[in-house]
């Protein structure tokens, strides 16, 4: 664990204990917390008060690109080698709406996933300690701090109701 | 001639050896005898063989006795299509399905591939031609007067040679074909004292009565009959002829009648005489000598005989009056459908009817002397001799009496009494199978020959390619045998059969005063023969006319039903059954393929609880047959019918074991002068076994959908459209019609759509190919179907796949019934259905890969290579004219050497792709290329589709609809024109012209 | 939501119970898997024979150019729709009851669409060139025809497969991480690789929940569009019986109806087999049954409307098609569709039936059969008697039709069973989301 980010990791089984701790930490200027939960939790989201995820921009740009690509592809390909079918115009809007729509969804969805991955990786704090209990029923709060602050943080966490506190250095 | 080169047949040779062109002299002597030993194709190019360019040779069809002229299309020295010779007087460029299928006789995989003789163990072994001819010569000369020949060959140099050859040995030739028209010959002798067969002018007849004479199927010269019939019966200049058919079963001819009367079998003669009686009683203009018949005819006054005929006295009178008031009219009899024991008397009665109506000399012309054989009586006499052991050597040439005669006649047993039998059959048929020596004849397209089918017509045949197998013209065999045998045959010497034939033609040239024989020969060969007008000889009533009787013949045997076998234009007497094209082309009447069947009236079927497909057993005193039931409203309730031509026991892989032989039910003809086909009563037995009938008919009613439109003669005269005619008929009730604004909007939208299509190749002016099909002329003969198969390499799929509806016929003839229920008269309408090349084709936009698309010249193109086989196009086609390759039909349908028939200009489609009518695009492009080489535009008539070219009725016209002067544009403007399913707005390129109906009142 | 269902479990119990489903397989499971593989092999053999001999082996009888393969294609596409409805649409509607069943239904979606995707390839005449339907640059400079509904299908189905697979995988990641943290050895390594480094940190949840929401938002119109596009394969044609404006909603309702039927068929035995009866309970089935009743009633209306429109239009082609659908040679298929779908679904008005799993299972079998027949009737009966009476013909399916149908069930079942034993078939994370965390101050 030599490469870990130095700090203190506290585990909670009670959600109000965790929110208390987070509130207290934030009040003390510890804003750069990493909070683990087995499932998304509104109370914790509330106290963390993060800005809205920029993933929606990925969705928007992907969707618009897909839609434009769908129409551009169909119109260009139809006119690249004009072939007459069924007495209909060479390039027609109504049938191509379907393709514009499908590509909008496809690219929108793929770019959303890409957005989730990219944003998660970009914003992630590297080498944060983790416990397997956090995927089960514990809430983890990691407070990055220098060794000299560790004791104060630990006592804060314990006060809030942490069931277990470990130090990473 | 180098005889040693005759062995070592190599099929590849016909790629290297050239036929003889009708236009060039250089290769004339090269074909039939000199054989190239090495494969050096086109190293030295022949002047009349250009790779990729077809060469045409004139020849003569040998598929029946009519002797139609052929143009044989060859490519790279192999025949690929048979077409009619436009110069020939019999068929004038048209050809029936059977004639076209002659190609499958040439390339039939079942052909006897070389001379064989019978071994001690009963099998056969290949022998060299020299040995075979030596054996034949020795046996024949040893037989002397105990030699007999049965020949089905037509009249010509060969039949003369055969007669001379046989006579020289003291033997005799019996010329026999199953449908030999013996009753007509006998009747002509009785009534007019003339044995010959007259020609019949259907084209100028205004009223045609057919007494069971199936003139569109097997009667005399069907193509010629059909041409004439369509010319008069088709709607033209505000009029059309009327056709009434009288027969117990509605044949194809009956289906084309304006009225069909299901008369009592055997009553035809009485009706004919009764009509004559009415005419003589009511008209004074009858020929003077006919008046003498009044006494004899008095017994046939309509009131007296009506009861036994199935007609009322008034109907007979009306018929007679219509008949005589139409000048000229024509009555015909003597077909297979009415060939009962009284057939000769029927023909005689009809002769009298024609005579009293003044038709003899106008529509019935004696002097044409149509080819007829010696008749069954001669064959029966020979059979007696055979049975008596008086025949030592029997030669059977172009005849198959063991199959064609009823089994009860005992001909096979008589054959067994002949110690040595020789056959020249192309395929090992039932008769050849009993022979000791097989000297397979070269096909008509592989040999020199000529025919004189009628007075004035001398039709030539020439080899168009190397023989497919190791065969010889029988004329050559006779000459070589004469040389080998010497003795009485010594006088029959010629260097070769070709030289022999030419020698006779030198005589012809001299008689005509032709100066330079080579020029005469080449010109005649190119024309296909010499065509002079047939002389017309006047005939008078002979004393025999007084003794004509109209009593019904007796039908033999027990049973509730009379059995009336039918002969179709496809299988004829059974000689068509070995050709897949003819087996898969549905029977024009029942639309059944690959199977035989038993026709039963729906009401009779209900009475016996018979459903379609139940295997019925018909039992007569002579035998029994089993076949699936087909419920046919066009047959009398007391008559059952089955097709002739099936039930071969030896006739190659396609025919053998297929269906039941209707002849098995017939009693031995005995001393009759002809085989009475309609003579036997049968018992009907149910088997309660069922079989699916391989028919192409889905629903035989069009449910008012306007596929096959018809209108009355009056409506046609007034220039009504079919829709207007319907409207008027329906009493002109309320009818939704678009307002002018709506019509404007529709037209505006269509114009805007059209404007948005004119990009790339589509910009500019292009021809728009189109077609009109005149249903007033179409008889449903199905010649176009075979033409399409031949031109476009359409595979036959076989019985199992037809049962699943998978036949590939790009062009099909739909046969819809109208009426026929609750006492209404039964009407039949035929619609040739093919790709309509719609301007707004629904098949095109649904194809995901543009395999179906529209060409600038208005064709609905199908790119086989691009097709992935989603089959959506077929689903979306309202006409259902797209066909899918469910299997690799291209591999199964053309076993060697049938593959040689394939048209190299047309792709053979692979498995998994959709195919359909292309409007013969290869012909369009070929004509465009040819015109471009001549630096000119296309002219109307430069291109025609294969179907239009073959159509004996001239019902189909093909051309550029954009050219206002073209025949197709002019005929499409006919008010009778309509589009099938016009309401779908697919805008087809095919315009149908409504059929025109004439009722009795017209 | 006073009556909303809340699992009476703790977070730890959820993890434990779900991870337990991934333990040693039961004997019943192994036998079912073997059966599925067996059926798949039957289908594989049939397909090889079709490749070797040609489509003629199947019972195609022109004019019926599409038959059981397209029927089964539409059937499986339809099955997929229920999964997306439950996982995406109900997610947007915040219907919490979906949490217990959505993972199974979403897996069903992916495998059903995977199965369906095979059919266009099996069905075409030249299976080896199916990729010609894709717009890729080739030597011939040819592009596909985007006017063809089949091309729309290619895009719709492939988009649907991609998006629903993505949706499934995205939803799985936190659960796989949960499993990862409970197992050991090679399995830990495997799940660790599949969990893509998931820790459940606030940063991950923040982007993840947003992304998941947008995916659901995209999947919702997609699921409606896919079966609409499939319905346009028919409705865009001019065939009487196909050419109907009602088709898109009619097909979407039918798809969801059939999909929920399949959910019943799968989940009722599966919950027993995987011992999750306490997690997937009557409450869920009751709600699913209400959805079934709703969509079944839409079908009832659509069937009635089809007949009404055929009669009211005065179009003889339509009239004959519908007359023959009810009284023609295929009457048995036509009536089985109406009885199984329109009438059987009406039984679900009764709460007793909705909560009786045996009854639901039997009804679900009827639904499966009825919905297969619905497509069979629409496709085959419309094609067998369209415009040209002369060309009418009846389909007679052969072993090659049944072989592929059986093979498709084998192929689907094989994947579904393998999935159910490999990945959490009940969504751990979403269930946990519905369970309140304990509070040190007590109460909720």
DSSP code at position B665:
G
List CB contacts (< 8 A) between B754 and chain A: 87
pLDDT reported for residue C23: 81
Chain B partners within 8 Å of A86 (Cβ): 840-845, 854
Contacts of A165 (CB under 8 A, 6+ apart): A8, A9, A10, A11, A154, A157, A158
Interchain proximity C170–A74, CB inside 8 Å: no
Instruction: Tell if the CB–CB gap between A109 and C151 is shorter than 8 Å.
Output: no
Chain C residue numbers touching A73 (CB-CB < 8 A): 135
Q: Please measure the distance between the N-terminal and C-terminal CA atoms of chain C and give it in whole angstroms.
A: 15
Interface of A with B (CB under 8 A): 79, 81-90, 92
Look at residue B7 in the predicted model and tell me its pLDDT.
Answer: 40
C207:A56 CB<8 A: no
- CA angle, C253 as apex, C251 and C255 as ends, to 5°? 65
Q: Is B437 left (phi over 0), alpha (psi -120 to 50) or beta?
A: beta
Which residues of chain B are under the pLDDT cut of 70? 1-45, 47, 732-736, 1000-1002
Q: Is B852 on the interface with A (CB under 8 A)?
A: yes
Same fold, B116-180+374-438 and B710-734+768-997: no
3-state secondary structure of B750: helix
Option in B757, B847, B856 nearest A87 (CB) = B757
For an interface test with B, give the residue of A74, A77, A83 to mutate (most B CBs within 10 A).
Answer: A83
Q: Which residues of A touch C11 (CB under 8 A)?
A: 38-39, 136-137
Kindly determine whether residue C390 and residue B801, on different chains, have CB atoms separated by under 8 Å. no
How many beta-carbon pairs under 8 angstroms link A with B? 51
C201: nearest CB among A16, A34, A108: A34
Whether residues C441 and A112 touch (CB distance < 8 A) is answered with: no
**Residue at C370 is within a domain:** yes
Chain A interface disruption, residue of C6, C178, C196, C205, most A CBs within 10 A: C205
Instruction: Say whether B868 and C129 touch across the interface (CB within 8 A).
Output: yes
Asked if A85 lies within 8 A of B762 by C-beta distance, the reply is: no
Pairing status of strand B769-774 against strand B990-993: parallel
Best residue in B760, B842, B852, B853 for a mutation probing chain A (most A CBs within 10 Å): B760
Is B884 near chain C, with CB under 8 Å? Answer: yes
Chains contacting C (3+ CB pairs below 8 angstroms): A, B
B561-690 fold: Barwin-like endoglucanases (2.40.40)
Tell me which architecture the domain covering B3-110+445-472+483-531 has in CATH.
Answer: 2-Layer Sandwich (3.30)
Above 80 in pLDDT, residue C147? Answer: yes
Neighbours of chain B (3+ CB pairs under 8 A): A, C
Name the token pair of B927: 């004509």
Among chain A residues, CA nearest to B877? A86
pLDDT of residue B16: 37
Cβ contact (<8 Å) for C147 and A86?
Answer: yes
Looking at domain B182-370, does it have CATH number 3.30.420.10?
no
Mutate to test the interface with A, among B758, B759, B850 (most CBs of A within 10 A): B759
Contact residues, A window 4-63, toward C, CB-based 8 Å cutoff: 13-17, 33-41, 44-45, 48, 50, 52-53, 55-56, 59, 63
* CB atoms A135 and C204 under 8 Å: no
Nearest to B695 by CA among C331, C67, C394: C394
Q: Which of B756, B762, B840 comes nearest A86 by C-beta? A: B840
CB contact under 8 A, A16 and C440: yes
Q: Are B406 and B675 in contact (CB under 8 A)?
A: yes
Q: Identify each DSSP E strand in B679-788 by its residue range.
A: 680-690, 710-712, 769-774
Q: Report the gap between the CA of B845 and the closest CA in chain A (Å).
A: 5
Nearest to B421 by CA among B391, B394, B382: B394
Q: Which domain holds residue C329?
A: 11-173+219-434
Of C177, C214, C229, the CB nearest to A98: C229
Q: pLDDT tens, A116-129? A: 999 988 877 777 88
In-domain check, residue C442: no
Residue of chain C whose Cα is closest to the Cα of B871:
C65
pLDDT digits (tens, 9 = 90+) for C264-313: 999 898 888 888 888 888 888 999 999 999 999 999 999 999 999 999 98
Burial C131-169 (b: 16+ CB within 10 A, else e): ebbebeeeeeebbbbbbbbbbbbbbbbebbbbbbbbbbb
Cα-to-chain-centroid distance, residue B963? 34
Q: Does residue C62 form part of some domain?
A: yes
pLDDT tens digits, C176-188: 999 999 988 899 9
Per-residue confidence band for C443, with pLDDT thresholds at 50, 70 and 90? low
Q: Which of A44, A85, A106 sits opposite C162 (nearest CB)?
A: A106
Q: Which two tokens stand for residue B216?
A: 């569109």
Residue C438 binned pLDDT confidence (cut-offs 50, 70, 90): confident
**pLDDT tens profile C371-423:** 999 999 999 999 999 999 999 999 999 999 999 999 999 999 999 999 998 99
For B710-734+768-997, CATH number out of 3.30.465.10, 3.30.70.20, 3.60.20.10, 3.40.50.720 equals 3.30.70.20
Contact flag A135-C15 (C-beta cutoff 8 Å): yes
C402 lies in some domain: yes
- Under 8 Å CB-to-CB from C393, ≥6 apart: which residues? B698, B805, C61, C62, C63, C64, C384
- C213 lies in some domain: no
Confidence (pTM): 0.93
> Could you give the maximum distance between any two Cα atoms of chain A, in Å?
82
Q: Do C145 and B880 touch (CB under 8 A)?
A: no
To the nearest whole Å, the CA of C396 is away from the closest chain B CA by 8
Indicate the number of domains in chain C: 1
Q: What is the pLDDT of residue B32?
A: 41
Domain ranges of chain B: 3-110+445-472+483-531, 116-180+374-438, 182-370, 561-690, 710-734+768-997
Tokens 């005759």 correspond to: B6
For residue B863, the chain C residues in CB contact (below 8 A) are none
Q: Is A116 on the interface with C (CB under 8 A)?
A: yes
Contacts 24+ apart (CB under 8 A), B312-318: B315/B261, B316/B271, B316/B274, B316/B275, B316/B278, B317/B278, B318/B1000
Q: What domains appear along chain A, each with residue ranges and CATH number?
A: 7-51+129-168 (3.30.70), 55-122 (no CATH)
Do B875 and C237 make contact, defined as CB atoms within 8 angstroms? yes
Q: Which residue is closest to C127 within chain B, CA to CA?
A: B868
What's the CATH architecture for B116-180+374-438?
3-Layer(aba) Sandwich (3.40)
The answer to whether the CB atoms of B981 and C387 lie below 8 A apart is yes
Q: Check residue B263 and report its DSSP letter.
A: P
């Amino acid at each position: 664990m030599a490469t870990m980010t130095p700090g203190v990791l506290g585990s909670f089984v009670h959600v109000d204990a965790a929110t208390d701790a987070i509130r207290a930490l934030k009040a003390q200027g510890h804003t750069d917390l990493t909070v683990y939960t087995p499932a998304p939790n509104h109370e914790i989201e509330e106290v963390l008060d993060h800005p809205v995820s920029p993933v929606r921009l990925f969705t928007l740009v992907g969707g618009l690109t897909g839609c434009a690509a769908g129409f551009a592809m169909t119109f260009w390909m139809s006119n690249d080698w004009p072939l007459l079918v069924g007495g209909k115009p060479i390039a027609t809007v109504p049938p191509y709406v379907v393709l514009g729509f499908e590509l909008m969804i496809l690219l929108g969805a793929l770019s959303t996933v890409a957005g989730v991955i990219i944003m998660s990786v970009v914003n992630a704090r590297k080498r944060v300690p983790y416990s397997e209990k956090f995927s089960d029923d514990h809430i983890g709060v990691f407070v990055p701090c220098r060794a000299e602050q560790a004791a104060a943080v630990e006592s804060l966490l314990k006060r809030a109701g942490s069931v277990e506190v470990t130090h990473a250095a | 001639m180098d005889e040693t080169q005759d062995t070592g047949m190599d099929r590849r040779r016909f790629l290297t050896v050239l036929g003889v062109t009708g236009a060039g002299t250089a290769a004339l002597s090269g074909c039939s005898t000199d054989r190239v030993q090495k494969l050096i194709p086109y190293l030295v190019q022949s002047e009349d063989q250009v790779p990729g360019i077809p060469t045409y040779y004139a020849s003569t069809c040998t598929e029946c006795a009519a002797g139609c002229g052929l143009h044989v299309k060859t490519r790279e020295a192999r025949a690929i299509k048979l077409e009619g010779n436009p110069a020939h007087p019999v068929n004038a460029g048209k050809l029936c399905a059977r004639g076209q299928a002659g190609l499958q006789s040439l390339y039939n995989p079942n052909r006897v591939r070389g001379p064989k003789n019978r071994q001690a163990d009963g099998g056969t072994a290949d022998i060299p031609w020299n040995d075979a001819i030596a054996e034949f010569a020795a046996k024949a000369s040893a037989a002397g007067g105990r030699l007999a020949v049965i020949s089905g060959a037509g009249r010509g140099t060969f039949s003369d040679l055969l007669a001379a050859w046989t006579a020289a040995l003291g033997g005799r030739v019996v010329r026999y074909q199953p449908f030999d028209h013996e009753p007509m010959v006998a009747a002509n002798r009785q009534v007019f004292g003339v044995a010959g067969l007259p020609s019949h002018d259907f084209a100028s007849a205004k009223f045609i009565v057919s007494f069971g004479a199936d003139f569109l199927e097997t009667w005399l010269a069907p193509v010629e009959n059909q041409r004439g019939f369509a010319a008069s019966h088709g709607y033209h200049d505000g009029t059309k002829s009327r056709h009434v058919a009288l027969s117990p079963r509605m044949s194809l001819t009956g289906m084309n009648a304006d009225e069909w009367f299901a008369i009592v079998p055997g009553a035809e003669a009485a009706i004919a005489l009764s009509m004559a009686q009415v005419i003589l009683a009511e008209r004074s203009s009858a020929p003077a000598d006919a008046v003498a018949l009044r006494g004899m005819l008095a017994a046939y006054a309509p009131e007296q005989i009506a009861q036994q005929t199935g007609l009322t006295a008034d109907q007979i009178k009306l018929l007679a009056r219509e008949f005589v008031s139409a000048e000229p009219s024509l009555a015909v009899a003597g077909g297979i459908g009415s060939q009962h024991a009284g057939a000769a008397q029927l023909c005689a009665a009809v002769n009298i009817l024609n005579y009293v109506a003044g038709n003899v000399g106008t529509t019935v012309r004696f002097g044409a002397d149509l080819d007829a054989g010696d008749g069954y009586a001669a064959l029966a006499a020979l059979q007696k001799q055979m049975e008596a052991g008086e025949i030592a050597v029997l030669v059977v040439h172009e005849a198959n009496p063991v199959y064609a005669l009823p089994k009860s006649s005992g001909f096979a047993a008589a054959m067994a009494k002949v110690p040595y039998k020789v056959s020249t059959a192309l395929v090992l048929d039932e008769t050849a199978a009993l022979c000791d020596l097989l000297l397979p004849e070269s096909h008509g397209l592989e040999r020199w020959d000529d025919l004189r089918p009628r007075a004035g017509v001398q039709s030539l045949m020439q080899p168009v390619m190397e023989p497919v197998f190791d065969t010889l013209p029988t004329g050559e065999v006779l000459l070589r045998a004469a040389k080998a045998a010497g003795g009485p045959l010594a006088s029959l010497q010629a260097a070769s059969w070709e030289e022999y034939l030419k020698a006779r033609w030198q005589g012809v040239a001299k008689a005509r005063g032709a100066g330079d024989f080579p020029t005469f020969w080449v010109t005649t060969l190119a024309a296909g023969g010499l065509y002079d007008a047939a002389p017309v000889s006047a005939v008078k009533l002979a004393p025999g006319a007084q003794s004509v009787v109209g009593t019904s013949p007796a039908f033999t045997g027990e049973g509730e039903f009379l059995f009336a076998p039918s002969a179709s234009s496809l299988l004829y007497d059974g000689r068509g059954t070995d050709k897949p094209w003819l087996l898969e082309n549905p029977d024009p009447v029942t639309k059944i393929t690959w199977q035989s069947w038993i026709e039963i009236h729906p009401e009779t079927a209900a009475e016996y609880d018979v459903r379609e497909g139940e295997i019925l057993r018909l039992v007569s005193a002579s035998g029994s047959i089993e076949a699936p039931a087909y419920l046919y409203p066009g047959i009398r309730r007391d008559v059952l019918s089955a097709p002739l031509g099936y039930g071969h026991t030896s006739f190659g892989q396609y025919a053998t074991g297929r269906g039941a032989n209707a002849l098995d039910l017939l009693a031995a003809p005995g001393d009759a002068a002809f085989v009475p086909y309609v003579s036997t009563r049968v018992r009907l037995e149910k088997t309660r076994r069922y079989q699916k009938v391989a028919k192409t008919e889905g629903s035989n009613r069009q449910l008012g959908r306007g596929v096959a439109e018809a209108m009355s003669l009056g409506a046609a005269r007034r220039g009504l459209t079919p829709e207007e005619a319907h409207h008027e008929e329906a009493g002109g009730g309320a009818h939704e019609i678009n307002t002018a604004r709506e019509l404007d909007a529709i037209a505006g939208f269509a114009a805007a759509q059209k404007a948005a299509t004119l990009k790339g190749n589509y910009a500019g002016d292009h021809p728009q190919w189109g077609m009109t099909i005149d249903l007033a002329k179409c008889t449903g003969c199905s010649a176009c179907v075979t033409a399409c198969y031949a031109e476009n390499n359409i595979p036959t799929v076989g019985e199992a796949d037809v049962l699943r509806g998978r036949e590939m016929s790009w062009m099909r003839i739909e046969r819809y019934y109208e009426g026929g229920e609750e006492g209404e008269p039964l009407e039949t309408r035929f619609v040739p259905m093919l790709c309509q090349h719609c301007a707004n084709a629904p098949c095109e936009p649904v194809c995901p890969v543009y395999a179906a698309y529209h060409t600038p010249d208005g064709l609905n193109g199908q790119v086989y290579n691009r097709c992935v086989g989603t089959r959506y196009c077929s689903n979306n086609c309202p006409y259902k004219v797209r066909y899918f390759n469910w299997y690799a039909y291209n591999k199964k349908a053309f076993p060697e050497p049938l593959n040689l028939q394939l048209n190299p200009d047309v792709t053979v489609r692979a498995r998994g792709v959709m195919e359909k009518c292309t409007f013969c695009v290869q012909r369009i492009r070929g004509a465009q290329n040819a015109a471009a080489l001549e630096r000119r535009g296309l002219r109307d008539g430069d291109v025609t589709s294969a179907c239009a070219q073959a159509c004996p009725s001239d019902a189909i016209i093909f051309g550029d609809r954009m050219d206002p002067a073209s025949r197709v544009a002019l005929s499409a403007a006919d008010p009778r024109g309509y589009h099938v399913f016009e309401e779908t707005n697919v805008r087809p390129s095919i315009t149908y012209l409504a059929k025109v109906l004439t009722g009795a009142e017209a | 939501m006073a009556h909303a269902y809340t699992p009476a479990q703790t977070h730890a119990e959820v993890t434990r119970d779900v991870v337990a489903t991934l333990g040693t397989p039961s004997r019943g499971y192994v036998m079912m898997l073997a059966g599925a593989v067996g059926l798949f092999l039957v289908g594989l053999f049939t397909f090889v024979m079709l490749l070797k001999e040609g489509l003629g082996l199947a019972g195609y009888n022109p004019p019926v150019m599409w038959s059981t393969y397209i029927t089964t294609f539409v059937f499986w596409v339809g099955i997929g729709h229920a999964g997306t409805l439950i996982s995406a649409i109900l997610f947007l509607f915040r219907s919490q009851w979906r949490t217990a069943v959505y993972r199974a239904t979403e897996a069903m979606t992916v495998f059903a669409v995977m199965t369906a995707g095979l059919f266009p390839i099996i069905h075409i005449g030249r299976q080896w060139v199916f990729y010609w339907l894709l717009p890729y640059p080739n030597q011939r400079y040819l592009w596909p025809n985007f006017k063809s509904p089949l091309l729309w299908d290619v895009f719709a189905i492939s988009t649907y497969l991609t998006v629903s697979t993505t949706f499934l995988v995205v939803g799985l990641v936190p659960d796989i991480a949960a499993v990862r943290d409970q197992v050991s050895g090679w399995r830990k390594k495997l799940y660790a690789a599949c969990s893509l480094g998931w820790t459940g940190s606030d940063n991950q949840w923040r982007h993840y929940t947003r992304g998941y929401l947008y995916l659901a938002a995209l999947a919702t119109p997609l699921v409606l569009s896919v079966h609409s596009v499939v319905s346009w394969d028919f409705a865009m044609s001019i065939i009487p019986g196909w050419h109907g404006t009602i088709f898109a909603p009619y097909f979407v309702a039918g798809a969801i109806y059939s999909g929920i039927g399949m959910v019943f068929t799968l989940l009722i035995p599966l919950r027993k087999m995987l011992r999750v009866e306490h997690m997937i309970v009557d409450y869920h089935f009751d709600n699913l049954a209400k959805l079934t009743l709703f969509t079944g009633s839409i079908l009832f209306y659509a069937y009635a409307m089809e007949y009404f429109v055929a009669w009211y239009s005065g179009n003889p082609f339509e009239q004959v098609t519908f007359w023959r659908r009810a009284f023609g040679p295929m009457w048995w298929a036509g009536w089985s569709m109406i009885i199984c779908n329109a009438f059987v679904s009406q039984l679900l008005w009764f709460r007793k039936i909705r909560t009786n799993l045996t009854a639901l299972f039997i009804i679900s079998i009827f639904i499966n059969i009825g919905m297969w027949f619905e497509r069979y009737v629409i496709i085959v009966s419309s094609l067998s008697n369209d415009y040209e009476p002369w060309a009418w013909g009846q389909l007679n399916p052969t072993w090659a039709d049944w072989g592929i149908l059986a093979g498709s069930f084998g192929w689907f079942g094989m994947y579904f069973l393998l999935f159910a034993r490999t990945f959490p078939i009940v969504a751990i994370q979403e269930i946990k989301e519905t369970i309140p965390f304990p509070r040190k101050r007590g109460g909720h």
